[in-house]
């Protein structure tokens, strides 16, 4: 008696793949339409199990759908069958469900957004299988391999660098942001050079950088800020990731990642995640991705939100690259406006402000962990 897994395939490949991983079948049969044929081809590359090719199925004709279900039930009546109705069309789920529910050798199963497999014969759940986020990204056509930096790759010197960066930022936040945070496209391109310099109208306010060269494994950033009231403050920052921490608010992303690393459900934390489109051009970037035991958390970090449309863009990234089961979290250092919070809520995005949290009862770290624990396993509605 073989273990045969029949799975309906729609636009979301994740519940299909995880259903196969959880049931460990000897053979997989994909039920798909012409529109979901591409999803099947992606799935076949990720499994090392014999696949039975079936012709595409009509999405709406109940007679054809029922005929296919009954044909497969008859063909595999002597085998141990599981039928995954998580993906695919509702018309398929209903007719395959009622057909195989009558078969004594078959079990209808459903994989929810928390990657828990529900057995509809026993009404029991199963969650003891490995969740691989790198496979999940490939399923959605967005490989992450070699396009991120793990939090574990940062060093004590990077930690010390962040303290220095925060210190000079507090000295003159506006000048600091103009030099290293609010970079236009021309400055972003210049920043890719091995060495360079940006300066403000006052020549005493500038930043210089030098990337690692030769056997040197550290980067150097020199910042000088001048204030009419405070005078001049200078700082030299040397660490393996100095440039990434100083520019584009990398220091804030690192601080958020460090806080997330103390969350008991975080299993792996990746920063500066880039989803490549073609050579030297990225489709999109995500500040932080956290792997938990059952799903992915995307985190967008900004010292403050200047455009609420950034929230719409972030939601699109979460859905396109992580699927319906993934979660999104928008974090700001400054107070978040009511409009921004409302926008996050409308998009199904969690929101957190360090300034708001500082005025609460709990420490920001505890408040953040509590938010995530309360929301991680809630089902996304859109």
- The per-residue pLDDT for range 120-152, each reduced to its tens digit, is 999 999 887 778 889 999 998 888 887 899 999
25-84 residue pLDDT tens: 999 999 999 999 999 999 999 999 999 988 999 999 999 999 999 999 999 999 999 999
Please give the pLDDT value at position 213.
66
Average pLDDT, the chain: 91
Q: Which CATH architecture describes the domain 3-130?
A: 3-Layer(aba) Sandwich (3.40)
Asked if 298 and 314 touch (Cβ cutoff 8 Å), the reply is: yes
Q: Which fold has domain 249-375?
A: Trna Endonuclease; Chain: A, domain 1 (3.40.1350)
Which residue is listed with tokens 């310099």? 197
State how far the Cα of 360 lies from the Cα of 248, in Å rounded to an integer.
Answer: 28
Asked if 305 and 332 touch (Cβ cutoff 8 Å), the reply is: yes
Please give the pLDDT value at position 56.
93
Domain boundaries, the chain: 3-130, 155-240, 249-375
Please give the pLDDT value at position 42.
94
Asked if 101 and 93 touch (Cβ cutoff 8 Å), the reply is: no
Please give the pLDDT value at position 224.
95
Task: Give the predicted TM-score (pTM) of the model.
Answer: 0.89
Which residue is listed with tokens 């296919």? 68
* 3-130 shares its CATH topology with 249-375: no
State both tokens at 227: 């204030």
Is residue 374 pLDDT above 70, yes or no? yes
Please give the pLDDT value at position 141.
85
State how far the Cα of 111 lies from the Cα of 127, in Å rounded to an integer.
Answer: 10
Asked if 164 and 246 touch (Cβ cutoff 8 Å), the reply is: no
Please give the pLDDT value at position 282.
56
304 Cα distance to chain centroid:
21
Please give the pLDDT value at position 285.
84
Cβ neighbours for 273, distance < 8 A, ≥ 6 positions apart: 144, 147, 148, 285, 286, 287, 288, 289
- Three-state DSSP state, 209: strand
State how far the Cα of 376 lies from the Cα of 292, in Å rounded to an integer.
Answer: 9
Q: How many CB atoms neighbour CB 25 within 10 A? A: 24
* Cross-strand pairs, 350: 329
Asked if 153 and 162 touch (Cβ cutoff 8 Å), the reply is: no
Please give the pLDDT value at position 280.
52
Please give the pLDDT value at position 216.
63
Is residue 278 pLDDT above 70, yes or no? no
């Amino acid at each position: 008696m073989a273990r045969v897994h029949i799975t309906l395939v729609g636009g979301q490949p994740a519940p299909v793949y995880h259903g196969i991983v959880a049931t460990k079948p000897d053979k997989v049969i994909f039920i798909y339409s012409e529109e979901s044929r591409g999803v099947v081809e992606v799935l076949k590359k990720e499994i090392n199990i014999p696949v039975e090719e079936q012709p595409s199925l009509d999405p709406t004709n109940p007679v054809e759908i029922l005929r296919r279900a009954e044909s497969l039930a008859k063909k595999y009546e002597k085998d141990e069958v599981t039928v995954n109705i998580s993906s695919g069309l509702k018309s398929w789920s209903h007719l395959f469900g009622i057909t195989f529910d009558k078969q004594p050798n078959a079990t209808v199963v459903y994989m929810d957004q928390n990657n828990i497999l529900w057995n509809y014969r026993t009404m029991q759940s199963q969650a003891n299988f490995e969740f691989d986020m790198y496979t999940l990204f490939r399923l959605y056509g967005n490989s992450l391999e070699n396009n991120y930096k793990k939090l574990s790759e940062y060093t004590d010197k990077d930690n010390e660098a962040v303290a220095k960066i925060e210190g000079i930022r507090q000295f003159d936040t506006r000048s600091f942001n103009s030099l290293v945070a609010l970079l236009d496209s021309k400055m972003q391109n210049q920043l890719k050079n091995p060495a360079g310099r940006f300066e403000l109208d006052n020549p005493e306010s500038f930043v210089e950088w030098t990337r690692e060269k030769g056997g040197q494994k550290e980067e150097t950033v020199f910042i000088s800020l001048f204030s009419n009231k405070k005078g001049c403050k200078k700082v030299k920052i040397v660490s393996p990731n100095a440039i990434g921490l100083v520019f584009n608010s990398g220091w804030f992303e690192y601080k958020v990642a460090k806080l997330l690393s103390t969350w008991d459900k975080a299993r792996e934390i990746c920063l500066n995640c880039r989803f490549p489109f073609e050579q030297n051009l990225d489709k999109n970037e995500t500040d932080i991705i956290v792997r938990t035991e059952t799903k992915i958390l995307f985190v967008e970090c900004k010292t403050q939100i200047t455009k609420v449309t950034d929230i719409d863009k972030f939601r699109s990234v979460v859905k396109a690259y992580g699927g319906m089961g993934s979660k999104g979290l928008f974090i700001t250092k400054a107070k978040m406006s009511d409009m921004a919070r409302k926008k996050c809520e409308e998009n199904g995005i969690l929101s957190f402000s360090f300034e708001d949290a500082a005025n609460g009862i709990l420490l920001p770290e505890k408040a953040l962990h509590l938010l995530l624990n309360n929301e991680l396993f809630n089902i996304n509605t859109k």
